Amino acid sequence: MISVGLIGYGYWGPNLARNFDETDGVRLAAIADGRADRRDAAGRRHRGIVTCEDASSLIALEDLDAVVIATPLETHYPFAKAAIARGKHVLVEKPFVGSISHAEELAELAYKHDVRLMVDHTFVYNGAVRRIRSLIDSGDLGELLYLDSVRVNLGLLQQDSNVIWDLATHDLSIMDYLIDARPVAVSADGTAAAGFEHENVAYVTVHFDNGFLAHFHVNWLAPVKMRQMLLGGSQRMVVYDDTDPAEKVRVYDKGVDVDVNDRETRRRILVSYRTGDMHAPTFDRREALSLVAQEFAESIAQHRPPLTDAAAGTRVVALLDAAERSLRADGRRMAL
Amino acid sequence: MISVGLIGYGYWGPNLARNFDETDGVRLAAIADGRADRRDAAGRRHRGIVTCEDASSLIALEDLDAVVIATPLETHYPFAKAAIARGKHVLVEKPFVGSISHAEELAELAYKHDVRLMVDHTFVYNGAVRRIRSLIDSGDLGELLYLDSVRVNLGLLQQDSNVIWDLATHDLSIMDYLIDARPVAVSADGTAAAGFEHENVAYVTVHFDNGFLAHFHVNWLAPVKMRQMLLGGSQRMVVYDDTDPAEKVRVYDKGVDVDVNDRETRRRILVSYRTGDMHAPTFDRREALSLVAQEFAESIAQHRPPLTDAAAGTRVVALLDAAERSLRADGRRMAL
Amino acid sequence: MISVGLIGYGYWGPNLARNFDETDGVRLAAIADGRADRRDAAGRRHRGIVTCEDASSLIALEDLDAVVIATPLETHYPFAKAAIARGKHVLVEKPFVGSISHAEELAELAYKHDVRLMVDHTFVYNGAVRRIRSLIDSGDLGELLYLDSVRVNLGLLQQDSNVIWDLATHDLSIMDYLIDARPVAVSADGTAAAGFEHENVAYVTVHFDNGFLAHFHVNWLAPVKMRQMLLGGSQRMVVYDDTDPAEKVRVYDKGVDVDVNDRETRRRILVSYRTGDMHAPTFDRREALSLVAQEFAESIAQHRPPLTDAAAGTRVVALLDAAERSLRADGRRMAL
Amino acid sequence: MISVGLIGYGYWGPNLARNFDETDGVRLAAIADGRADRRDAAGRRHRGIVTCEDASSLIALEDLDAVVIATPLETHYPFAKAAIARGKHVLVEKPFVGSISHAEELAELAYKHDVRLMVDHTFVYNGAVRRIRSLIDSGDLGELLYLDSVRVNLGLLQQDSNVIWDLATHDLSIMDYLIDARPVAVSADGTAAAGFEHENVAYVTVHFDNGFLAHFHVNWLAPVKMRQMLLGGSQRMVVYDDTDPAEKVRVYDKGVDVDVNDRETRRRILVSYRTGDMHAPTFDRREALSLVAQEFAESIAQHRPPLTDAAAGTRVVALLDAAERSLRADGRRMAL
C-alpha cells in the first residue's frame, strides 16, 4: 500500500484526491493547503486524513511514500526538490516546472535518490488520445504530415502567466506523446489584448526534423469553446473534437497521392485525392486522471519509469521555454 | 450600356459571364479562351457572343468598354496593362497581380488613362461580411482585439502557387475590408507536405499598429471543410461560419472588463467576463458576384472608384508578398 | 427549519438528498432504503442522518415535517397516503401516481390534512423551460400553433412500464406548464420492439380545445440522444435543444401571415413567410432540482400551494392514462 | 434514340428537362406549358425544341416515344391516360395520382398498351437511400425494428393539398423501397394551423404485419429545416440526415440484446445494450434525377418494368389515401 500526500487543494487538487482515493494499492494520507476552508473541505470529504498548513510539514511526514504537487507553477521546483530529497516519489502537475534547468536538476535528483518523478500530462491518459496513438501505430494514417490544434474559450481567473503556459501545455504534451519525430524549432506570436498583462491570444508553431509541422492556437478571449485537433496523414486523417459528446475521434479515409514519376517529366505535380468512409471508433471512456493515479502507483510498485516521466515533462518545458523566448523576440524561430 | 469582354472561361469565368449577363446596363459581348471546347461552351450559353482564341484579339475589339480578366495570376499584369492602354476599364480576378510593383504600375496607368481598375475581392461583397462590417461601424463590438480565420479543406487541382496565394487572399481581402487599423508586419510559416512543390498547409500572422492581431490558417490537406472566422471585440464577439447553411453570423454578447484601477493597487489584473445572449442577424443573401458585377458597372457609369479598387488590390498583394518573403526566411516577421 | 425524510436512495434519491441538504431552511433528517449498501452510502454522504430499512419506519418518525418519495411508481400512492395521514408534507417523484383516482384521492387527503402535496416535475423548474414560458407570456411568439417534442436515446435498465410513462412524463409536464389551452383528447401508438414486454418506441398526440396540437416521440432504442422541442407560434418559433451545451433555447423570428381578406375573394390562401433574426437568450443555469427543493420548502413555510401541485400531477397522470388507453385501443383518440 | 416530351415547365420541369437532355439514348423533343414565359424560357435553354401551349397537343405529336408529366396532381390521371392511349411511355411526377382507382386503371392501361409507366419517386434513386438499402440487404442492421422520419421546414407557396401529400410522399416512397414487410394500417393526425385551409403540420403512422412501425412528421411551419430518418435495427442503427453536407448516412454499431431464456424464468426482460463504433460510408453522389431519367430510358430500351413502376406508385397512393381518410376520421387507424 503506497501512502500519498497531496499539496494544494484548490482547483485541481480535489480531483487528484478523489482519484487517488479510488486507486487500488494507494492510501491518501495527507493533504496540505494554506487556506483553512480548503483544509476543512478536504477533511470532510476524506475522513481520517492528516491536514497540514504548509507543504514542508507534509513533506516531513515520515510515513508518506509519495507526494503529489498541485500548486502554482513557481512552487513546483522547491516542493518537488524537498520531497525527492526526503526520498519521496513525486507527481507534479503540468506544466512540470518553469525552466529547463530546474527540470533537469529534478530529473537528476530523482535518479540519484531512485524515486519516481512523474508529470501529470493528463491528456496522455485520455482514451481518445490513446486511440489516436494506436491508429498511428497501426500505420492506418500513413505518413504523418501535420498537426493543427485549437484550444479556445472565454474565461480565466487571476493569472500569473500567459495562455501558452496555461493551455498549450496540454496540446504540447499530446503532441509529445503522439509524434515520434524530433521537434527542432519553435516560434510563437500573440497579443495581450484588452489590457491584460500577459498574452491571452497566442499561436505556437513547432517544426520537426522530418518536415512535420505542428501549430497551436490558444485563446482565453474566444466566444465559443473549441477543443479541436487535426492530424493529417498521407493515408487517413483524424479530427479529434473533445467537445463532441458522442464522436470525439473521427478518422477520415481521405488522403493524397502524388504521382512522383509524372513529376520528373512535367513541371507540375499531379495530385489525386482519395475520399472514402469516415469512421468514429469507440475508446476507453474512463476518467483520464484515474489512469494517471494508477500509472503513478504502478510505476512505484514496479520500480519503473512512468509513461509521462521527468523526460517528457522536460521536453514540454523546453517547448514552452522556446515559445516564450520567441514571443519576446518578435516571433523569431527558436531552435530547441 | 457598357460592353464587356471576358478573358478566361475556365473555373471562375462562367460564373462571371453569367453574372455580367444578368447585370443591368451591361452587355456581355465577347469571351476569349485558348481552348476550343470552352469557347464552344461559352457560345452555347451566351448567344450572339464573339469568341476569341487569345486575349489580345479580345482586347483589340473596338466596341468593348471593359475587360474582365479571369486567367492564371501571371497573365493578370500583361492583360490588364494591354487593356488599360487601349482605354478599357478592367476588372481583375483575385489576387490582383504577383508583385507590388506591377500593382502600382497598373494603378498609375489606370489613373493616366482615366479608366476604372477593380479587383474581384468577392467576399467583400458577401452579405455576411458586410453585416459584420456594419456591426463594427455601429460600435456594438467595442474595441476590436483580434481576428482568427480558418479556411481549410481537401482538394486542389494542379497548382502553380502555394495555399497562401490561393486561399488566404480571400481572408486577407476580408480583413482589409473590416479592419481600419494599419497592418505593419506579416509573418508566415508552412509546409509543402506529401511531396508537393508548394506549401499546402500554412499560417499567416498580421500585426497592426494598434496591437490588433490577425491570424490565418489555410490548408489544402484537411479532411473536413472549415470556413470560420472569429472576431474578438471588447464588448461583443463574432463567429462567422460560412459553412453553416442557416446562421452564418453569430454575435455573442460576451466580453471582457478589466478593472484598471485595481491594477495600480495590486499586481494582478482582475478580469470579469460577461456572458449574455447570442444573436444571429439576417443579412443580404444575394450572390456576391452579382454585386461585384454591379459595382464594376456602376463605378464606370458614375465615373468613381469601385469599392475594391486597385489600392485595395495592392494592399492585399503587399500582404501576400510579405507572407511569401517570411515563408522564405524561416517565418521571420516582415515589415510592410 | 423544516425536517425532511427521503424514501428511496436509488437512481434519483441521491440527487434529491444532495439538493435538500443545500437548501436553506431545510434539514435532511432521515433516509429510507431497503438495500443496506444504499443506506451505507447515504450515511457516509450525509452525516448524522437517520437511516431506515423501510418506508413505514421513516414515515413514523415523529420529528419529520415532510417526506420525499423517490421509489418505483406503484409505491407512490401507499407511501404518500401514509405520510399525509400522519400530517407530513409530501413531495412525490414524477409520474405522480399510476391512476387518476389515486391522484384525486391523495389531493383530497392533503387538502383535508392541510399539508402541501407536490409532484417533482423537474423540467418545470429548468431555466430554459421557464425562459420559454416568459417568451410566451410576453406575447413575442404570437398565437401558439403546435408543439413537437423528441426525447430519444439508447438505454434503459429493467423496466416495469413503457417508454411513455418513463420519458413522456417529462414532456407532458413541460406542456402542462407552457400551454394554457385545455387538452381535450389524446392518442398514442407504439411498438414493443426487439422482444421487449412494454412499448419502447412510442408516439403521443394531444389535441387541444383551441386547435393547438402537441406531439411527442419517445424512444429507448434510438442510436443518438435527442432532446428537442419545437414550439411554433404565429409570430416567432422556438427550438429548445437540451443537448446543446451552449444555446439551448433559440428563438426564430419566423412566422406566417395569412391574408384573410384574400381568402374571401379567392379559393386559395395567400401565405407569406417572414424570416428574420435568430436569438438565443441566456437563462437561469441553476440546477432545476435545487429549485424544486426550494419551492417545496417555501410552499410549506408560506402555507401556499407549490407550483407543481397535486392538480398539475393529476393533469399529467390523466394524459398518461389516456395515452395508455389509446395504446391498448389501436391508437384511438381518447377524450380527457 | 428515345424521343421525350415534357408537360409542365414550372418548378420541377426544368430539372427534368435538364436531366433528360443529358441522358444517353434520349432526345428531349418537346415541352408543353400553358404559360408563354415558361415556353420562352424552355425554348431558350433547349434549342430546337417544339413548344406546345397545351398537353394534348404535345401528346398528339407523332414522333414522341415517351411523355414526362410534371403538372399539378389532378392532371396526372387525364394526361397519363391520354398519353398511354396513344402508345407513349409515361413518367409521372410524385405523387402518382390522387386515388387508388385511377392508379390501378392507369397500370392496367399501360399493361394493355405494353408501354412503361413509371413514377418519379426521386429519393429511391438517391445514393444515400440506396446505400441504406444495401446495408439492409447485407444483414448488417439485423432485424429491422422501426423507422422514424422528420421532414420539416418553413415555406410553401399556394397549395391545393395538405402537407402529407406534398412532403410525406417522399418519405413513404423511401419506406416502400427500404422495407420489405407489408404495411397493414395507417393513421394520421394533423392541424391546419394559422388559418390554412389544409393541414400544414401532420403525423403519419404506418403499421406492418410483422410489428415494424414507421412514423412520419411533416411540417410546413417549422423554423428550421430538418430531414432526418432513424432506422432502428437489432444489430445496428442508421441515422440518415439529408441536411448534413458531409456525412448523410451514419451507421451506429449499437443494438439491443434480449436474453430470451431469462424471460421464461423471470417476469422481467433482461436487456443489454451494445455500443460500438460509428461508421459513415460513402455513397453515390450523382444527382438522383439523372438516375431517374436513365432508369426510364433503360426500362424502355430493355422492355422491362422500371424500379419505381406503377405498382410502387399505387402502393404509395394507397398509403396517402389511408392517411387522408384517417385525418378525416379523428386519426382512426385505417386498414390498407
Q: What is the pLDDT of residue B209?
A: 96
The three-point CA angle C213-C218-C221 to 5° equals: 155
Total H helices, total E strands in chain A: 11, 15
Over 90: is that where the pLDDT of A81 sits? Answer: yes
Q: Does A187 touch chain B (CB under 8 A)?
A: yes
Task: Check if the beta carbon of residue C149 is closer than 8 Å to that of residue C228.
Answer: yes
Q: Does B265 touch chain C (CB under 8 A)?
A: no
Task: Decide if D313 is inside a domain.
Answer: no
ipTM of the complex as predicted: 0.94
CB atoms within 10 A of CB D196: 21
pLDDT in tens, C220-232: 999 999 999 999 9
Please give the backbone phi and psi of residue A65, each rounded to the nearest 5 degrees, phi first. -90, -30
Cell 433547349 locates to: D46
Task: Decide if D210 is inside a domain.
Answer: yes
Q: Does C277 touch chain D (CB under 8 A)?
A: no
Q: Same domain for D98 and D179?
A: no
Q: Same domain for B30 and B12?
A: yes
Closest partner residue to A224 among C224, C225, C246, by Cβ? Answer: C246
CB contact under 8 A, C245 and A243: yes
Written in H, E and C, the secondary structure of D244-268 is CCCCCEEEEEEEEEECHHHHHHCCC
Mutate to test the interface with D, among C135, C146, C160, C267 (most CBs of D within 10 A): C146
How far, in Å, CA of C219 to CA of C217, rounded? 7
A266: confidence class by pLDDT, cuts 50, 70, 90: very low
Chain A: residue whose CA lies nearest to B330: A333
Task: Find chain C residues with C-beta within 8 A of D258's C-beta.
Answer: 194-196
Q: What is the pLDDT of residue C245?
A: 87
Over 50: is that where the pLDDT of D263 sits? Answer: no
pLDDT in tens, A119-139: 999 999 999 999 999 999 999
Check whether the bond before B95 is cis (ω within 30° of 0): yes
Nearest residue to A328 (alpha-carbon basis) of A207, A174, A186, A124: A186
pLDDT in tens, D287-322: 999 999 999 999 999 999 999 999 999 999 999 999
Q: Same domain for A149 and A276?
A: yes
Task: Decide if A276 is inside a domain.
Answer: yes
CATH code at position A86:
3.40.50.720
How far, in Å, CA of D50 to CA of D48, rounded? 7
Q: Same domain for A264 and A323?
A: yes
Mutate to test the interface with C, among B279, B283, B284, B285 (most CBs of C within 10 A): B279
Single-letter residue type at C195: G
How far, in Å, CA of C32 to CA of C50, rounded? 8
CB contact under 8 A, B203 and A203: yes
Task: Find chain C residues with C-beta within 8 A of B281's C-beta.
Answer: 277
Task: Decide if A106 is inside a domain.
Answer: yes
Q: Does B155 touch chain D (CB under 8 A)?
A: no
pLDDT in tens, D164-200: 999 999 999 999 999 999 999 999 999 999 888 899 9
Task: Find chain B residues with C-beta within 8 A of A145's C-beta.
Answer: 191, 193-194, 201, 221
Q: Does D155 touch chain C (CB under 8 A)?
A: yes
CB contact under 8 A, A245 and C243: yes
Over 70: is that where the pLDDT of C40 sits? Answer: yes
Q: What is the pLDDT of residue C274?
A: 67
Q: Same domain for B93 and B129?
A: no
Beta bridge partners of D89: D66
Measured in angstroms, the CA of C278 and the nearest CA of chain B are apart by 5
Q: Does B140 touch chain C (CB under 8 A)?
A: no
DSSP state of D168: I
A259: confidence class by pLDDT, cuts 50, 70, 90: low
pLDDT in tens, C44-72: 888 889 999 999 999 999 999 999 999 99
Measured in angstroms, the CA of D326 and the nearest CA of chain C are apart by 11
Which of left, alpha, beta for A139 (phi over 0: left; psi -120 to 50: alpha)? left
Q: Does B40 touch chain D (CB under 8 A)?
A: no
Q: Same domain for B34 and B170?
A: no
Beta bridge partners of A38: none
Task: Decide if A310 is inside a domain.
Answer: no
How far, in Å, CA of A114 to CA of A84, rounded? 9
C-alpha cell at B98: 504577383
CATH code at position A272:
3.30.360.10
Query: A48 Cβ partners below 8 Å, 6+ apart?
Result: none
Chain C: residue whose CA lies nearest to D157: C271
Chain B: residue whose CA lies nearest to C278: B280
Nearest residue to C69 (alpha-carbon basis) of C321, C313, C299: C313
Measured in angstroms, the CA of C251 and the nearest CA of chain D are apart by 9
Counting the structural domains of chain A, the total is 2
Closest partner residue to C278 among B247, B275, B276, by Cβ? Answer: B247
Q: What is the mean pLDDT of chain A?
A: 93
Q: Does B224 touch chain A (CB under 8 A)?
A: yes
Task: Check if the beta carbon of residue B212 is closer than 8 Å to that of residue B136.
Answer: no
Closest partner residue to C146 among D155, D193, D213, by Cβ? Answer: D193
For D53-195, where are the E strands, in sequence order?
A: 66-69, 89-93, 117-120, 144-154, 183-191
How far, in Å, CA of D59 to CA of D53, rounded? 11
SS3 C142: coil
Please give the backbone phi and psi of residue B226, each rounded to the nearest 5 degrees, phi first. -130, 135
Task: Decide if A313 is inside a domain.
Answer: no
How far, in Å, CA of C310 to CA of C316, rounded? 10
Q: What is the pLDDT of residue C173?
A: 98
Over 70: is that where the pLDDT of A157 sits? Answer: no
Q: Same domain for C217 and C238?
A: yes
Q: Same domain for C58 and C108?
A: yes
Chain C: residue whose CA lies nearest to D254: C223
C265: confidence class by pLDDT, cuts 50, 70, 90: very low
Q: What is the pLDDT of residue B78?
A: 98
Query: A299 Cβ partners below 8 Å, 6+ apart?
Result: A116, A118, A305, A306
C108: confidence class by pLDDT, cuts 50, 70, 90: very high
C310: confidence class by pLDDT, cuts 50, 70, 90: very high
Chain D: residue whose CA lies nearest to B47: D44
Q: What is the pLDDT of residue D156?
A: 63
Q: Does C194 touch chain A (CB under 8 A)?
A: no
Closest partner residue to D194 among C205, C234, C275, by Cβ? Answer: C234
Task: Check if the beta carbon of residue B38 is closer than 8 Å to that of residue B70.
Answer: no
Task: Find chain A residues with C-beta within 8 A of C222's C-beta.
Answer: none
How far, in Å, CA of A281 to CA of D279, rounded? 8
Task: Find chain D residues with C-beta within 8 A of A281's C-beta.
Answer: 277
Task: Find chain B residues with C-beta within 8 A of A271's C-beta.
Answer: 156-158, 196
Q: Which residues of B271-280 are buried (b: 16+ CB within 10 A; e: fewer)?
A: beeeeebbbb
Q: Same domain for B258 and B297?
A: no
Task: Decide if B12 is inside a domain.
Answer: yes
Closest partner residue to D213 among C191, C256, C268, by Cβ? Answer: C191
Cα end-to-end distance, chain B, whole Å: 41
Q: What is the pLDDT of residue A196?
A: 83
CB atoms within 10 A of CB B17: 24
Q: Does C36 touch chain D (CB under 8 A)?
A: no
A264: confidence class by pLDDT, cuts 50, 70, 90: very low
Beta bridge partners of D7: D32, D69
State the average pLDDT over residues C162-189: 97
Query: C180 Cβ partners below 8 Å, 6+ apart?
Result: none
Measured in angstroms, the CA of B246 and the nearest CA of chain C are apart by 10
CB contact under 8 A, D245 and B243: yes
Q: Does A279 touch chain D (CB under 8 A)?
A: yes
State the average pLDDT over residues D118-142: 97
A217: confidence class by pLDDT, cuts 50, 70, 90: very high
Q: What is the mean pLDDT of chain C?
A: 93
D272: confidence class by pLDDT, cuts 50, 70, 90: low
How, if at all, do strands B213-219 and B144-154 pair?
parallel
Measured in angstroms, the CA of C101 and the nearest CA of chain A are apart by 43
A265: confidence class by pLDDT, cuts 50, 70, 90: very low
CB contact under 8 A, A246 and D278: yes
Q: Same domain for D143 and D281?
A: yes
Q: Does C272 touch chain B (CB under 8 A)?
A: no
Query: B278 Cβ partners below 8 Å, 6+ apart?
Result: B250, B251, B252, B253, C246, C247, C279, C280
State the average pLDDT over residues A266-288: 77
Q: Same domain for D150 and D273?
A: yes
Q: Same domain for B21 and B132?
A: no
- For A205-255, the DSSP string reads EEEETTS-EEEEEEESEEEEEEEEEEEEESS-EEEEETT-SS--EEEEEEE
Query: D19 Cβ partners below 8 Å, 6+ apart?
Result: D287, D289, D290, D292, D293
Q: Which domain holds residue C23?
A: 2-121+288-305
Task: Find chain C residues with C-beta within 8 A of D263's C-beta.
Answer: 195
Task: Find chain D residues with C-beta within 8 A of A275's C-beta.
Answer: 282
How far, in Å, CA of B73 to CA of B324, rounded? 15
How far, in Å, CA of C273 to CA of C250, rounded? 18
Measured in angstroms, the CA of C257 and the nearest CA of chain D are apart by 8
Chain B: residue whose CA lies nearest to D243: B245
Task: Find chain A residues with C-beta within 8 A of C224's C-beta.
Answer: 246
Task: Check if the beta carbon of residue A125 is closer than 8 Å to that of residue A280.
Answer: no
Q: Does C155 touch chain A (CB under 8 A)?
A: no
Helix (H) or strand (E) holding B262: helix B260-265
For D53-168, where are the E strands, in sequence order?
A: 66-69, 89-93, 117-120, 144-154
Task: Find chain B residues with C-beta within 8 A of A232's C-beta.
Answer: 193, 201, 221-223
Which range, of C320-334, D148-162, D279-293, averages the lowest pLDDT?
Answer: D148-162
pLDDT in tens, D250-261: 999 987 776 555
CB contact under 8 A, C279 and B276: no
pLDDT in tens, D54-103: 999 999 999 999 999 999 999 999 999 999 999 999 999 999 999 999 99
How, if at all, do strands B183-191 and B201-208 pair?
antiparallel
Q: Does D329 touch chain C (CB under 8 A)?
A: no
Nearest residue to C80 (alpha-carbon basis) of C102, C62, C100, C112: C102
Task: Find chain C residues with C-beta within 8 A of D237's C-beta.
Answer: 154, 221-223
How far, in Å, CA of A37 to CA of A33, rounded? 9
Q: Which residues of chain B have pLDDT under 70?
A: 156-159, 258-274
Over 50: is that where the pLDDT of C127 sits? Answer: yes
How far, in Å, CA of C239 to CA of C260, rounded? 28
Task: Decide if A312 is inside a domain.
Answer: no
Task: Find chain C residues with C-beta within 8 A of A227's C-beta.
Answer: none
- For B32-74, the DSSP string reads E-S-HHHHHHHHHHSTT-EEESSHHHHHH-TT--EEEE-S-HH
How far, in Å, CA of A299 to CA of A167, rounded? 27
Measured in angstroms, the CA of C277 and the nearest CA of chain B are apart by 5
Mutate to test the interface with A, among B187, B244, B258 (most CBs of A within 10 A): B187
Cell 520537426 locates to: A208
